[in-house]
């Protein structure tokens, strides 16, 4: 066979490989997009299995435990930790929520006393103080009002039914996640081996090296992110408690937990804290204290915690993480949000290694000598 024929066969072989990979990608996309809700507990369980696999492997090496026994020990320890956390933290949160709920009528009365006169004086609006007065002002008959209000009740009832079904579906998903994790975790090395068996043999070394780099990047990022989130939750809760606002622990913990989404956690936490300050307004001092707490914690996170603990482990940065979460959520829903950052980090590693291979390829380097010679001569003149 001539050299030209060999080159033609090689190009045809490569083209068919590209077509095959594109078809596989499209099939995976269609399956994940169509079965996203069903695959959510499976995806979450696989992520948890990936995160917990080093712990089970360590128990297996250190104490000689079988993987199923190490998984059982890990689940028992996690259950004990969750129980202790529930007994310590949940009562505080319940007390804060209960105290806030008891204060709601007073807040509403304050708003009514302050806002209603302002509306009347500023816009010359006669705001009704009761439903009967409202009906009289509108000049409407109660029967007509009820008739008009009853029209959309069917749609509202349907929405309530759908929301209720969604809540039960979410609860079922939460129950299935640990069940699937308990099933996947003992078999996780076998799952990885089975996936590797599907890779063409000539690509196995490259895939192993790339997967190892992705694993190191993700492991460092996840450990650092969990550490930063825990520290931020404690700092926000303590700082807001010192300022003396209600629901300080709840707002602080929620702000810390949402810190993995850049800017979103801070905006939600600051909005909630300022709203509580406005509802029980006692002067600008408390609001200033809330602003100082968020400014100090954000400064520490940006200058100390994130650079030292997390750094640029994924190579994405805050904007990249935010874009990955938005894109993953819009395309694949909750599964996309769950896998957005790991997938984006894996793509960054693959792209970097692909660019490195391209710059070392003959396609990129061909003709480099001819370009260097004229520039050297020009420099000599």
With pLDDT > 90 as the criterion, what percentage of the chain qualifies?
A: 18
pLDDT digits (tens, 9 = 90+) for 208-241: 888 888 888 888 778 788 888 999 999 999 999 9
Q: How far apart are CA 248 and CA 262, in angstroms?
A: 21
Q: What pLDDT, on a 0 to 100 scale, did the predictor assign at position 305?
A: 82
Q: Is the pTM of this model over 0.95?
A: no
HEC readout, 65-111? CCHHHHHHHHHHHHHHHHHHHHHHHHHHHHHHHHHHHHHHHHHHHHH
Q: How far apart are CA 4 and CA 10, in angstroms?
A: 10
H helical segments located in 185-316:
188-197, 204-243, 248-257, 264-279, 284-300
Asked if residue 147 has pLDDT above 50, the reply is yes
Mean of the per-residue pLDDT values of the chain: 76
Average pLDDT over residues 69-97: 86
Report the candidate in 327, 48, 7, 61 with the shortest Cα–Cα distance to residue 183. Answer: 48
């Amino acid at each position: 066979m001539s050299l030209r024929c060999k080159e033609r066969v090689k190009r045809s072989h490569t083209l068919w490989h590209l077509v095959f990979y594109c078809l596989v990608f499209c099939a995976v996309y269609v399956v994940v997009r169509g079965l996203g809700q069903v695959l959510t507990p499976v995806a979450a369980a696989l992520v948890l299995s990936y995160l917990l696999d080093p712990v089970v492997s360590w128990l297996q090496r250190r104490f000689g435990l079988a993987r199923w026994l190490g998984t059982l020990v890990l689940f028992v320890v996690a259950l004990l930790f969750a129980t202790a956390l529930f007994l310590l933290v949940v009562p505080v949160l319940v007390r804060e929520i209960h105290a806030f709920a008891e204060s709601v009528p007073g807040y509403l009365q304050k708003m009514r006393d302050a806002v209603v006169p302002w509306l009347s004086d500023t816009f010359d609006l006669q705001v009704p103080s009761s439903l009967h007065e409202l009906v009289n002002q509108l000049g409407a008959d109660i029967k007509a009002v009820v008739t008009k209000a009853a029209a959309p009740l069917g749609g509202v009832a349907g929405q309530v039914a759908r929301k209720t079904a969604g809540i039960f579906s979410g609860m079922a998903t939460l129950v299935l996640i640990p069940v699937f994790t308990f099933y996947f975790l003992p078999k996780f090395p076998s799952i990885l081996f089975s996936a590797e068996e599907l890779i063409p043999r000539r690509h196995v070394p490259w895939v192993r090296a790339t997967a190892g780099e992705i694993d190191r990047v993700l492991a460092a990022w996840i450990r650092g992110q969990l550490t930063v989130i825990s520290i931020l939750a404690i700092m926000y809760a303590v700082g807001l408690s010192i300022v003396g606002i209600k629901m300080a622990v709840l707002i602080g913990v929620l702000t810390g937990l949402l810190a993995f989404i850049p800017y979103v956690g801070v905006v939600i936490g600051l909005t909630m804290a300022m709203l509580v300050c406005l509802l029980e307004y006692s002067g600008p001092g408390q609001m200033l204290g809330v602003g100082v707490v968020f400014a100090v914690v954000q400064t520490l996170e940006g200058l100390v915690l994130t650079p030292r603990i997390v750094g640029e482990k994924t190579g994405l940065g805050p904007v990249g993480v935010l874009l990955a979460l938005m894109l993953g959520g819009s395309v694949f829903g909750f599964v996309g949000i769950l896998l957005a950052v790991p997938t984006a980090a894996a793509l960054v590693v693959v792209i970097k290694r692909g660019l490195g291979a391209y710059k070392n390829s003959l396609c990129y380097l061909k003709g480099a000598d001819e370009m260097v010679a004229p520039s050297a001569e020009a420099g000599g003149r």
